[in-house]
Amino acid sequence: MAQKVYKLTRERYNELENELHYAKTVREREVAEQIKEARSFGDLSENSEYDEAKNEQGKLYSRIAEIENVLAHAVIIDDSDLQSDTVDAGCKVCISEEKSGRTFEYQIVGSQEANPSMGRISDESPLGKALVGAKIGDTVEFEAPAGLMRFKILDIIR
């Protein structure tokens, strides 16, 4: 099975490194202390504090493994590698909906950073897939739950 490659901006990569460092140092010690304290309450079979602390430890180790996997398979989106005339991960694109004429500006990012409410869409989303590789003036279309959507590319910003 092929390993998934994660496209990340340098900023997001650094955020994940910082989160990993915090989780492995500060947070891991905090959870270990919670477990130690809960053990002191006696019988572990009926100790909800102990169960909760162990669940917290499991979540923490799961998150650490997830971050390590993402960082190990990350590809940093480098603006200098991007072509200036086509849409690709890392650029911002201004588009106009064909039916309504409304304009939108989105930054194309990897799936780890997608947040449509903040104007960041994944290059793996239906709209992102339609936009990647297109040029200014092109009209792209994709199938959405509301039906066929068509957008014209007005500008590409690096």
* The two three-digit tokens of residue 56, written as one number: 């917290």
CB 148 within 8 A of CB 133: no
On whether both 41 and 90 belong to a single domain, the answer is no
What is d(CA 106, CA 63) in angstroms, rounded to the nearest whole number?
Answer: 28
The total number of structural domains that make up the chain: 2
Tell me the pLDDT tens digit for each residue of 104-126.
999 999 888 999 999 999 999 99
pLDDT the model gives residue 4: 77
Residue 1 has pLDDT above 60, yes or no: no
Same domain, 152 and 84: yes
Domain assignment of residue 51, given as a range: 6-76
What is the pLDDT at residue 9? 85
pLDDT of residue 2 exceeding 80: no
Give residue for tokens 């390590």.
Answer: 68
Quick: pLDDT tens for 47-97. 788 888 999 999 999 999 999 999 999 988 876 655 668 898 888 999 999
Of 41 and 51, more confident: 51
Q: Has residue 153 got a pLDDT over 80?
A: yes
CATH code of the domain containing 147: 3.10.50.30
Helix runs in the chain, H state only: 10-22, 28-39, 48-72, 126-131
Question: Amino acid identity of 29?
Answer: R
Q: Are residues 69 and 111 in the same domain?
A: no
**1 domain-assigned:** no
Neighbours of 10 (CB within 10 A): 12
Domain assignment of residue 66, yes or no:
yes
pLDDT at 79: 64
- pLDDT tens for 84-103 read 688 988 889 999 999 899 99
Whether residue 59 sits in one domain with residue 23: yes
The CATH number of residue 36's host domain is 1.10.287.180
pTM above 0.95, yes or no: no
Alpha-carbon distances of 42 from 46, 57, 92, rounded to whole Å: 9, 19, 57
Please give the structure tokens belonging to residue 43.
């019988």
Alpha-carbon torsion, ordered 38, 42, 44, 48, to 10 deg = -50
pLDDT band of 18, cuts 50, 70, 90: very high
